[in-house]
Amino acid sequence: MITIFVHRNGDTTTAAQVDPAWLEPSSSVTLWVDLVAPGEQEARLLSDVFHFHPLSVEDALSEIHHPKIEPYPNYLYLILHGIDVDNRRGGFATRDVDFFLGRNYLVTVHDGHSRSIARWKEVCEHHEHVLAEGPAALLHRIVDTMVDNYRPEIDALEEQLDELEEIAILGRRQNLVRQILLLKRDLASLRRVVLPQRDAVGRLARREFPQINDEITYRFRDVYDHFVRMSEEAMLFQDRVTSILEAHLTTISNRLNVVMKVLTVISTIFLPLTVLTGMWGMNIPLPMFPGSHTAQFWWVAAMMATIAAGMLAVFWRKRWM
């Protein structure tokens, strides 16, 4: 699906197709073309009308690409990732959005799940000022909204970290490894997406490209600061989740050591008792304790109880229990 917004003579309207005259250097038209799940026809629009480089067109039509920025002779190609709100797997996931920024146009390519683009398309239908500032300003508005959408997801990840950290410290549960590893995978995905986006937006904030003027550069500096904070949080979260995993494994190891210590004490106590019962259980004449045959049992039982009590007293005094 193609949506085309055209701003000319102070008015913003929609169009059914792109007029090649709008792309002429002398044109005063500001154009925004949004492609949702582009097919063969939309691919021809990118290559035949806008004359984008085949490599950038190929990247835009592919499903997943890492964030990056590439300058071309007449336009700027940018890939950023937005939060995936329809993620069925659960956890953290993103979808890529492709931008082609020219002198007087902005072309966006995505799969139709971008909340940021949907919001600004709705705004463009009712407010002319959005496109009046130019395509670079529109790019900033979309990117800034995409960055803002990261905050609730990062806060949710931090809440999971706090909860797992408390459980691991208090030792309430023993089956935390799966949850910790899933969270660690989400944090790795966050870091893998945020770091290259920080670098790409940082180039937009350094006035490297003719499509970005000084005013828009200042705006992108604010977006860059958001990405810097998110990248620092991603690295901090990864360190925390590693510490949580180590603390949890240490707690399990300590519990196992306590169990093994108790079992070792029991085995040590029963060792002399086993020797004693083995000796008096042999079918050979043995020295008899005073009393009848029935009294012999109570003599042996008393000896076993005395040995066990003495060993427990020694273990307790040495704090082995």
Q: pLDDT tens for residues 124-159?
A: 877 777 788 889 999 999 999 988 888 888 888 888
Number of domains forming the structure of the chain: 2
Same-domain check for residues 267 and 217: no
| Structural domain boundaries, residue 291 | 263-317
Q: Is residue 128 domain-shared with residue 220, that is, in the same domain? A: yes
Same domain, yes or no: 278 and 138: no
How high is the mean pLDDT of the chain? 83
217: in domain: yes
206 lies in the same domain as 283: no
Does pLDDT of 89 surpass 70?
no
* 154/197 same-domain check: yes
Is residue 226 in some structural domain?
yes
| Residue 250 tokens, joined | 């240490």
Is the predicted pLDDT of residue 111 greater than 70, yes or no? Answer: yes
Considering 251, 274, 301, which residue would you say is the last residue of a domain?
Answer: 251
Same-domain pairing of 307 and 182: no
Mean pLDDT of the 172-183 span? 80
**Residue 321: what pLDDT?**
65
Mean per-residue pLDDT, 45-68: 84
Q: Is the pLDDT at 86 greater than 70, yes or no?
A: no
- pLDDT score recorded for residue 314: 82
DSSP per position, 86-141: T-SS-S--EEEEEEEE-SSEEEEEE-S--HHHHHHHHHHTT-THHHHT-HHHHHHH
Q: Do 200 and 270 lie in a common domain?
A: no
Residue 79, pLDDT above cutoff 70: yes
Stretch 29-47: mean pLDDT? 84
More confident position, 236 or 251: 236
* Residues 273 and 165 grouped into a single domain: no
Q: How far is CA 30 from CA 36, 143, 185, in A?
A: 20, 19, 42
Confidence of residue 92 (pLDDT cuts 50, 70, 90): low
What is the mean predicted confidence (pLDDT) over 72-83? 88
Q: What CATH number should be reported for the domain holding residue 311?
A: 1.20.58
pLDDT confidence of residue 189: 82
Give the end of a domain, one of 251, 286, 307. Answer: 251
Verify that 139 and 117 share a domain, yes or no: yes
Q: What are the CA-CA distances from residue 221 to residues 75, 133, 204 (Å)?
A: 21, 18, 8
Three-state secondary structure call for residue 35: strand
- pLDDT of residue 88 exceeding 50, the answer is no
**Is 7 domain-assigned?**
yes
Same domain for 291 and 149:
no
Q: Is residue 258 part of a domain?
A: no
CATH of the domain at 223: 3.30.460.20
Q: Which of 251, 284, 308 is the last residue of a domain?
A: 251
Q: Does pTM top 0.85 for this prediction?
A: no
223 lies in the same domain as 306 = no
In the block, tokens 């970290």 appear at 161
| Claim to verify: residue 203 and residue 61 sit in the same structural domain | yes
How confident is the model over 202-236, as pLDDT tens digits?
888 888 888 888 888 889 899 999 889 988 888 89
Tell me, yes or no, whether 256 lies in a domain.
Answer: no
**Is the pLDDT reported for residue 291 higher than 80?**
no
Helix (H, G, I), strand (E, B) or coil at 55: helix
- Residue 179 to residue 160: CA distance in whole angstroms: 9
